[in-house]
Structure 1
Amino acid sequence: MPTTASVTLESAAFGAGGPDLPQPDNALDSWHRAVALGGRGYYARARAELRRTRLFPDATPTIASLTFSTEGSLLRQLGGHRPAAGYDGAALGCLDGGKPESVLARCDAMTGLAADALGQGRLAVSGRLLERCAAELCDSSLLRTRSWRQRLRFQWVSAELAMASGAPDRALQYAQTGALLAGECPSTRHAIKSDLLVAAARCVSGDLDAAREMGADVLKRCEERGLVPLQWAAAMLLDGIAPGTDAGTVALTCARVIERRGGRFRKPTIVPDGVGIRS
């Protein structure tokens, strides 16, 4: 039976609760703790926890893969698509076999690699990786009942790829599909991120009023929950729509907080991946 600490850490990983997290008793709890820390912008603490996760006696290859995918995500959020690809490649290399847990982790790694390729301008490579991921997710009815996070991340990166490819209508379709999926998932953070993707897609499609309204709502929800990386991303979007507003100040404040917490901003090649944490 799950312990109180396990339930708390899993809930925190999905955006609930505050920054005071219990110590983990096992590798999965440790991974949840790292994800929760990353979601709140504690990058250095999250990276340290991920290294700790791999040292637990019960750390399986699947959990090791998840830790590498998460490290890639932490880099990619701040523009580090090239170094992130090394971690996502390591995540893929950890896995062997067709157990459901391994397949889901493989989808995480492939989606991460697709996002890494997208951020480096390798759009065709990104598309092929997404196609492979989609094939994996459609292969098993068992996976379809357990893969909400992987299916949601697939929609996010597909929306980003469509934006980068100059296909705003398709981008909005993927983003809205993601938002519908997020409405049925247990993660507050993933739901907020999905709404931010819809706002970004509306911006690209020229519906600036809707993008501004949705972005402002996302910004408020992030502030209420202490989701600093997503708050920064929402502020960046709003500042892009209406430069010179308070959003620019909020983005700068969030960036300074992120840097104090160990975040390392890098200049992305194509996509300023300000749309948050992929995990």
Structure 2
Amino acid sequence: MDEFLRDAAFGGSPGADVSRAAAYGTPRQRWLAAVVLGGQGRYAAATALLTELRHTPDPVLASLAASTLASQRRQVGGHAAARRLDGEALARLAGVAPVADDPDCVDAAGALADALTGLAADAIGAGGPSRRLLVVAADTVERLGGTERHRWRSRVRLDWVRAEIDLAAGRPAEALEPAERAVATATAAGAVRHRVKSRMVLAATLANLHDAVSKGRAEALLECDVHHNEALGLHPLVWPCALLLGGLRPDGAHAWHERAKGVLSCVLLRADPTARSLAAASVWVP
């Protein structure tokens, strides 16, 4: 079951049915199932698992659970709520040696990188020193050691946030390198969900460059990924892609916005009450 769950969470089968592992798996298997469920937009099921796992005696697993839930809160615009969870994730690692011994960063080093990178991402939406936090996260990942293969997930997440910080600051040209690097790293790792998220970050970057070639490239990426993400069941990535396409295509903006809202409404039907409340209050969510 472990290999099946790894492939669903970090490999080529993000749309897999993980209900058996969610119900009967070990704590680590249930965390992997929660990662998959969150990627599919099944937030209520994921939240139930992660809430339980945040209180497990294993500090690494508890930290991973808190930062995973934080990521899901950010996806519905809940940056302040995510910041509290990422702070909890960091606190759970106090006194834990940051060992890097897992190929997908499911270890103390990966948990530390997740918490620090998450805090930098939270600061983009909630206000705070996002760039300074990201520098700390990047320095930490570099000092942790391990092979490139061992650190692929941490590096991809760092590059997402690097690009997002530059985009938020109005510097799309500077965002291009980390966005393209994230696509390359996720592709080399065979991580489908991370690759399509990286492509979305790259498309957003290209769309902000405002030249015709970049715009055309962004549209091609987004059109492909809307259909691909729907086929994979990665609904939390469908509606942001549709919103971006609406911004790129004024003539069809209304149709793309309606499509985004339709997909989002389906996601929120499978969300827990806190996620629905965060989405309703967020300026980031249509």
Same fold (TM over 0.5): yes
Distance 2:280 2:162 in 1: 23
Q: Please state how far the C-alpha of 1:208 moved relative to its aligned partner.
A: 1.9
Q: Aligned pairs, how many?
A: 264
Higher helix residue share: 2
Paired residues of 1:114 and 1:126 also in contact (CA < 8 A):
yes
Q: Secondary structure at the match of 2:143?
A: coil
Of 116, 129, 140, which aligns to 1:110? 116
Pairing 1:101-180 to 2, within 5 Å after superposition: 101-122=107-128, 125-142=129-146, 144-180=148-184
Q: Could you say which residue in structure 1 is the equivalent of 2:26?
A: 26
Distance 2:115 2:16 in 1: 28
Distance 2:39 2:133 in 1: 25
Say which is worse superposed, 244-253 or 30-39, in terms of deviation.
244-253
Paired residues of 1:104 and 1:143 also in contact (CA < 8 A):
no
Identity percentage of aligned residues: 34
Say which is worse superposed, 217-226 or 23-32, in terms of deviation.
23-32
Q: Please state how far the C-alpha of 1:161 moved relative to its aligned partner.
A: 0.1
Q: Could you say which residue in structure 2 is the equivalent of 1:190?
A: 194
Q: Give, as a single letter, the amino acid of the residue that structure 2 aligns with 1:131.
A: V
Q: Give, as a single letter, the amino acid of the residue that structure 2 aligns with 1:223.
A: E
Q: Give, as a single letter, the amino acid of the residue that structure 2 aligns with 1:118.
A: I
> CA offsets per residue over residues 148-200 of structure 1, 9 Å max, x none?
11110000000000001111111111100111111111321001101111100
Paired residues of 1:50 and 1:71 also in contact (CA < 8 A):
yes
Q: Secondary structure at the match of 1:142?
A: coil
Q: Give, as a single letter, the amino acid of the residue that structure 2 aligns with 1:8.
A: F
Of 85, 92, 95, which aligns to 1:94? 92
Say which is worse superposed, 246-255 or 217-226, in terms of deviation.
246-255
Distance 2:280 2:54 in 1: 26
Of structures 1 and 2, the one with the larger relative CO (CA 8 A, separation 6+) is 1
Distance 2:53 2:146 in 1: 27
TM-score (norm 2): 0.86
Paired residues of 2:239 and 2:259 also in contact (CA < 8 A):
yes
Paired residues of 1:9 and 1:21 also in contact (CA < 8 A):
no
Paired residues of 1:80 and 1:266 also in contact (CA < 8 A):
no
Q: Give, as a single letter, the amino acid of the residue that structure 2 aligns with 1:85.
A: R
Paired residues of 2:43 and 2:270 also in contact (CA < 8 A):
yes
1:10 matched to 2:6? The reply is yes
Q: Could you say which residue in structure 2 is the equivalent of 1:277?
A: none
Distance 2:17 2:115 in 1: 27
> CA offsets per residue over residues 96-128 of structure 1, 9 Å max, x none?
232323222111001111011111233xx1111
TM-score (norm 1): 0.88
Paired residues of 2:245 and 2:256 also in contact (CA < 8 A):
yes
Q: RMSD of the TM alignment (CA)?
A: 2.0
Say which is worse superposed, 36-45 or 247-256, in terms of deviation.
247-256
Paired residues of 1:30 and 1:52 also in contact (CA < 8 A):
no
Q: Please state how far the C-alpha of 1:73 moved relative to its aligned partner.
A: 0.7
